[in-house]
Each structure stands twice: as C-alpha cells, then as structure tokens.
Amino acid sequence: MLLPDNIIQIIAPKNSIVIDSNWGISELGFDSRKLTFPAQTLFFAIKTAKNDGHLYIKELIRQKVRNFIIGEDVEHYKGLNANFYQVNDPVLAMQQIAAEHRKHFNYPVVGITGSNGKTIIKEWLSTILSKDFSVIKSPNSYNSQIGVPLSVWQMNGNYNFGIFEAGISQKNEMDNLEAVIKPNIGILTNIGNAHSGFFENDEEKLLEKLKLFKDSSTIIYNTDAYLIKATLGAQDFAHLQKISWGKNPDSYYKIISQKQLQHTTIVEFSHSSEWLEIPFTDAASIENVLHISALLMFLGYSLAYISKQLRFLSPLSMRMEIKEAQNNSIVINDTYSLDVNSLRIALDFLSMQTQFANKTLIISDFEQVNWGEKDYLELSKIFDNHNITKMVVVGSEMRRRHGYFPVVEKYFYDTTHDLLAHLDDINIRNEAVLIKGARAFKFEKVVQALQLKTHQTILQVDLTAIVHNLQYFKELLHSETKIMAMVKAMSYGLGDAELINELCYHQIDYLAVAYTDEGITLRKRNIDRPIVVLGAEATGFDLMIRYRLEPEIFNLFYLKELIQTLQNYPEIESFPIHLKIDTGMRRLGFHRKEIEEMLQLVKSCPKLKIASVFTHLAAAEDGRENLFTYKQIHRFDVICRKIDAQIPYPYLKHILNTAGIVRFPEAQYDMVRLGLGLYGFCPLPEVQQQLQSVITLSSVITQIKKIKKRETVGYNRTFTAKKDMQIAIVPVGYADGFPKEFSNGVGTMLVQGKPCPVVGKINMDMTVIDVTHLKNVTIGEDVIIYNTENSLEKISARIGKTPYELLTAISKRVPRIYVRE
C-alpha cells in the first residue's frame, strides 16, 4: 500500500494537491472502464491521439477513485474530492512507481525480449517452473511501455520467481522498461522484421533490445544467429554470463544432432549423454523450446526431466477465442494459462459480451504454489466485481476455498475428466462461458466438448487487428471527429455482436446497418450504441421506433411516411433522423431542388430531430476524379448552409468514407464513416500496407489420393494430369463462398505455408488441390484459404473481383471464431 507521501517521494511531481494523506493505493489503472477496486486505484490520466484520461476524472471520482497522476495543471482540479499529482509524463510516472516497487523483491526475475516468441516462451517456461516455484509473469502480451509496469506491479511476497517480457517499437524505449523489470537472467529470442521501420538497421534494433540486460548477470541466446553472437562479443556485454545454444562450436550448449521424426524432434548436446525430446517439428516451436531448455539446464534441470515436462506443452494460440457453443451460447477459450493478471483481462472480456445476461466461468486451480488467504480474498473481490452468474471449479485447492467465491450457482469437480462426465448437469444455454485453466488441466477438451460441432472450414476474425485499423484511422482525424462504423451485411460478413462489442468497447460513436432487421438483431443482442439504418424503408418505421433505430431519410415520400407514422406514438418527443443529400452519386438522396420542401416538412413535425446530414462521395479513392469530389464537397457545403439557416439546433455533418479520410482530411466535418478500412482493406496502396489483415479462412485436408499421368479430376474432366500427382480434398466450395472462378489453377490454397493450386472444377462443398510438391502431408492437416500471405487483395484481382466481394461472399454456414490478443 502506497500513501500520498510515498507517491510524491517516488515521482517528484511538479505540483500536487493532497487533501487526505491517508488515501492509500494498491492498484494502478489507466483505463476508466477496467478498474477492479476504484478506491484503492492510482489512476494515470494518459493522453493519446484519440483519447485523454483527464476527461474521465470527474466520473472516476464519483466511482470513489481518490488518487490521480495528471499531465495538466493541478489548478484545474482544485475543489475536487481527490489527490492530484502533476507530472510531465504520466506513463513515465507509472514506470517510476513500478520500478520502485520492483526493488522490494529479491527473487529471480527472467526478462524476455526479441522480435518473436516472447509470449510463448514466457508461458511455456512458466508452465514448467510452476511445479517448483510460485511464478509471477506478464499477463497475455503485456510487454509495452504501459503493460510492463502494470505487470511488475503485481509482484508480491507470495511469489518466488518472476518472468516478464519487454517489447519495444522505437529507439530509446528499453531503458525505461529495464528500470522496471531489472532482470537477473535474460532471454533474447531473435531479431526479425517487426518494427524495422523505426530503426536504421537490425544492429541498431538489437542494441536497443539488449539494453534490457545491462544489469543482468546471465543471458540466454542462439549462437547460430550471427548478428546476435557477434554483437554480444563486444566489450559492452562482457559482464554477462553467456548461456548460448546452437550448432556453432562456441555454443555453451552445443547441438551435435537434430533429428525430426513424425511428431517429435530429437536434439543431442555435446555435454550430455541424454537427449532432448521436443514434441514439435516446426522451426519456431523448436527454437522457442531450445531457449527454454537452455535456461532450465542452466538452473540445474536434467534433459530427461525437461523432456518429460515438454510433453505437457501444446501449441498455443496466445489469443482469446470466441466460438459458437451449444444451446445458443458462446465459449471464450482462454485456456493457455491461468494467473491473476490474465484472469482479470479475460473477465473484462467476458463482461463485454453484453448480448448474454448470464455469464459462466469455468476455472481450474492456479499454477502457482503456496497461495494464501490474501490471494483468495483478492480472487473473491475480482469475481464479485464481474457479476458472474455461474461458476464451475476444477481442482482440490479451489474447492477447499469455495467460501471465497460469491456466486450462487457453483459446481466443483476434482478433475477435468469428472467435469466432462457431468457437463450436461451444468445446463449451459443462452450464456457466455469463459474457460480459463492452468495448462495441466487440459481445458481445451472442455472447449471441444462445448463448442458446436460444425463445418471444418472456419473464418477466424482478429479483433486485435480491427482495433489496430480503427486506431490507424483515428490518428488521421481531429480529436473531436466522431466515427460511424459501417457494420452492414453482418459487418461485411465478419459477424455481429462479438465484433461490435469490441468496437463499442473502443468508443465507436455510431453503427450503421443496411436494413431494419440487421439493427433489430443488434438490439436483441444488447448492443446499445446509436444505430443508423441506411436505405430505410417506410414499412420498417414502426419497428425502427420500437427498437430505437435511426433511419436514413433520402426522399420526400419516406419523410412524409415517417411523419405520419410518428403520429401513432404520442410519447415520443424527439426522434432522430439522418438526411442524405445527393451531391453527384446519383443514387439515394435529396436533390438540391428538394431541400426547401424537405426542411418545411421537418419543421412541421416537432417530433423529428435531425441527427445528421450527409452525402456519399462517388470516387474518393480516384485521383483522376479529384475535381468531381471537390464539387461534391462544395455542393454539400452550400446545402448545409441552407439547412443551418432554418434549423436552430446543432446536428452532425459527414461526407468521408475510408478513402476520403485519407485523401480529403479537410472535409472531416463532424463525423466520418469507416467501412472497409476497419476490416483491413483500402484501395489506396499507401494505406493498405498500414492496415492489418483481419481474417483467416481455413479448413483441413479430408482425403489424400495419388493419381497417374493422363487421369482426370472432377466434373466435366476439365483437368488432366500431365504427370503422376498427389492431390488433397478440402471441404470448402462455392456454397461456402470460394468462387468457381478459382477452378483449374486460378486459385491457390496454402498447406505447410506453400501455395497449392486448385485442381479441376470447384464443387459446391469440395475443392481439390495439388500437394505433389509437399512432404509428409497428412489427413487433418491445416489448409489456409485466405490470410495475410494468400490475401484477398492479391487473389481477388485474378478473377476481376474486389476483396470485399470475396469477403461478403463467405457463407453464413462457415463458423466465425473471434480472436483477441
């Protein structure tokens, strides 16, 4: 517990207001939506390109937050019932407080950095070490300038081993993270292409990452990575004990043999007659395991013991996944680890699923050993704060502490096997289920038992990528400019509530759908943001009123119909409408000659309120049509001035779509409409490379066959083998949205990361691909249809379509799985 005097001593604020020196803190927070214990929280008011923590201070005081680190003048906050500490940089202050906290603990701490593999190494290492230590670690991928101090702040005397990862994206970031983590032992994973744009070369990036180990005693690394080996040979790193591994003769643990079997890899080292058995064959997993094994050998574990523990590991997605479950429910799969910090994050995500009133938590005993009463009291508060309606507990430790869990409906089982045997007793239906378990409990079996047994072809939607794309466009806007997210056609085929909850969580202002029934579906799933119905029809006005949907009105006929309909609702005093103006698109919208009559009708009905006025650019992405676009903007300005002259209240104006946001920033007005850019597509190449891919459409191989030269494949015998071949059948076809135009080699799928051409005609439910060039292909092997490498932008051009035509064509029968970092 830190008191105000402690805080002042640590951060040396420029100025402060302390009205009560007894208001102590035990939590750090920066997101006003995610405070577990407000009265005990020190809130950091952090400014970003599109948000400002200072805006939430008064509301947080109402929630009983009593201590604030601010970047603004404390004089602005005089008279408020809280303590304020003014600094230049609230993020730096958070790091300073965490760094001071770190000084109180002397147990070993491992710091992990590098371009790839940080999180999975941390999780796997924690799984193995938790059998002998009580391990504190970064939750999920908390390795940023904010994530690291929040992770280290969780250190306490109940733990005796720490594992923290650190990620940097620019120069001069690592010094601050090093001061917070202060690792005794370092693991440097590798140096790859991530964030290369911010460094002159790989050597400069490597030197920045190595700052994490300036006061460490030991470093683990791969000697076969020449740049790393050469750099660590410099005098600046002479203080480090170098525990290296690799085939290089200078390796501390020299590999003399590496053999790949069907499902395992056998590694022999020169220093031991034992060997390491790795339960993976892919290069990335092998590299990650060798880093872990080098550290474990250094700590005194034998290769035989390490091999035994590696059997309990499995490939990790490192992401939470939302999957459809039985009985109209969803499952949030977060089974790769269990600790208090990651549990908080997962429970926050569960709370976001507002489409379900009932929330169930399936949880196991924790990995950490030697837990005490204080730990279970903290758990009890966390559970109570997240309104869990049902709790399913597996393991003897949690069962013994059942009194700490303030949930009425509770189920307890000794093992995962017992839970699976009695799963029907829990009666899961119409609810959101979070599954959170330590690795030893193998809760992935519970996920498999609960999820719908459906099509083997799945569409994975990356919610983290959507947030990245949203933030990219936010940074192009003025801070006051609102965003309307286009979520029509089931968010361009990507889904509804699960995706839209993420947008709402990140403060999207408006949602736009194409038809009334789409809006009703969102309302029934408890989406509460303002929803605009584009192309609204008069037959749906009653339903729009009932479900609080806001119609786009684009002609005089529908405007009169809405006015007539509103006469049946005397209780309504202000019904929002969105007026569309036709400035040159020549589709829907009021013509300039109709504006006067439209205004008279609006003024004649006091129940109507103009929420916004907008128009649609016809060619915002086309530089050859700039003159026409500027004419549209000018026409819109003229019409808005006419409306301003007669409407006495403010309303929103908007004209820009995804491409317009980039090419015509001067026309932001009050709001923009973000559609395909949100989902990772933009017709402007310079923007496209800044966006992240949102989707992965994947399937599996269901059969493998060998065919002879001159044999034919598929309907109408359109393909004849020119040589002996091996083909594979994939259960996806044009009924799933994989177009027939990709037949006969036009389309490709990826197997083992390599392109495999389509063979013959695509069927309704099946496609045949050529896998002759691959080794050890097996039934059940993953097939990638669309992803970053086999991107929609590239392959849609082969058949003369746009990426969003392929995206919206993906059938509803293909299950959507939502993943989040």
Q: What are 347-392's pLDDT values in tens digits?
A: 988 988 989 999 999 999 887 656 777 778 888 888 888 889 999 9
Range from 49-58, 172-181, 418-427, 727-736 carrying the lowest mean pLDDT = 49-58
28-51 burial string, b = 16+ CB within 10 Å, else e? bbbebeebbbbebbbbbbbbeebb
Q: What would the two tokens of residue 365 be?
A: 């005993």
3-state secondary structure of 817: strand
| pLDDT value of position 238 | 94
Q: What are 292-307's pLDDT values in tens digits?
A: 999 999 999 999 999 9
Q: What are 590-625's pLDDT values in tens digits?
A: 999 999 999 999 999 999 999 999 999 999 999 999
Strand segments, DSSP code E, in 518-601 are 531-533, 549-553, 575-581
Burial of 404 (0-12, 13-18, 19+ CB in 10 A): middle
Reply yes or no on whether the pLDDT at 442 is more than 60.
Answer: yes
Length of the chain: 821
What's the per-residue H, E or C state across 345-395? HHHHHHHHCCCCCEEEEEEECCCCCCCCHHHHHHHHHHHHHCCCCEEEEEC
- Distance, in Å, from the CA atom of 298 to the CA atom of 302, rounded to the nearest integer, reads 9
Q: What would the two tokens of residue 656 be?
A: 């820009």
| pLDDT value of position 775 | 85
**How would residue 408 be classed by pLDDT, with cut points 50, 70 and 90?**
confident
Q: What are 738-748's pLDDT values in tens digits?
A: 999 999 999 99
- Distance, in Å, from the CA atom of 745 to the CA atom of 739, rounded to the nearest integer, reads 13
Which residue type does 168 have? I
Nearest in space to 706 (alpha carbons), one of 728, 685, 726, 680 = 726
- Distance, in Å, from the CA atom of 655 to the CA atom of 481, rounded to the nearest integer, reads 12
**How would residue 195 be classed by pLDDT, with cut points 50, 70 and 90?**
low
Q: What are 627-669's pLDDT values in tens digits?
A: 999 999 999 999 999 999 999 999 999 999 999 999 999 999 9
Range from 181-195, 370-384, 426-440, 573-587 carrying the lowest mean pLDDT = 370-384
Name, in order, each residue with C-beta under 8 angstroms of 163's C-beta and a sequence gap of 6 or more: 109, 110, 112, 122, 125, 126, 129, 135, 136, 137, 138
What is the CB neighbour count within 10 angstroms for residue 679?
29
Phi-psi region of 345 (alpha: psi -120 to 50; beta: other; left: phi over 0): alpha
Distances (CA, A) of 197 to 64, 170, 758: 43, 9, 36
Nearest in space to 579 (alpha carbons), one of 655, 508, 522 = 655
Q: What are 43-69's pLDDT values in tens digits?
A: 999 998 777 899 999 999 999 999 999
| pLDDT value of position 315 | 63
| pLDDT value of position 278 | 94
Range from 137-146, 338-347, 404-413, 566-575 carrying the lowest mean pLDDT = 338-347
State the average pLDDT for the chain: 92
| pLDDT value of position 318 | 58
% pLDDT > 70, the chain: 98
- Distance, in Å, from the CA atom of 39 to the CA atom of 27, rounded to the nearest integer, reads 9
Reply yes or no on whether the pLDDT at 778 is more than 60.
Answer: yes
- Distance, in Å, from the CA atom of 706 to the CA atom of 769, rounded to the nearest integer, reads 12
The answer to whether 289 and 310 have CB atoms below 8 angstroms apart is yes
Rg (CA), the chain: 29
Q: What are 28-38's pLDDT values in tens digits?
A: 999 887 787 89
The answer to whether 440 and 365 have CB atoms below 8 angstroms apart is no
The answer to whether 83 and 19 have CB atoms below 8 angstroms apart is yes
Q: What would the two tokens of residue 480 be?
A: 């006051």
Instruction: For residues 117-143, give the mean pLDDT.
Output: 89
Q: Does 650 or 451 have the greater pLDDT score?
A: 650
Phi, psi for 564 (deg, rounded to 5) = -65, -45
Half-sphere exposure in the Cβ direction for 139 (13 Å, CA): 21
792-816 burial string, b = 16+ CB within 10 Å, else e? bbebbeeeeeebbebbbebbeebbb
DSSP assigned state of 52: B
Range from 252-261, 356-365, 452-461, 731-740 carrying the lowest mean pLDDT = 452-461
| pLDDT value of position 368 | 63
Q: What are 473-525's pLDDT values in tens digits?
A: 998 999 899 999 999 888 888 887 889 998 988 889 999 999 999 999 999 98
Reply yes or no on whether the pLDDT at 456 is more than 70.
Answer: yes
| pLDDT value of position 320 | 81
**How would residue 107 be classed by pLDDT, with cut points 50, 70 and 90?**
very high
Nearest in space to 428 (alpha carbons), one of 509, 336, 359, 515 = 359
Instruction: For residues 160-180, give the mean pLDDT.
Output: 94
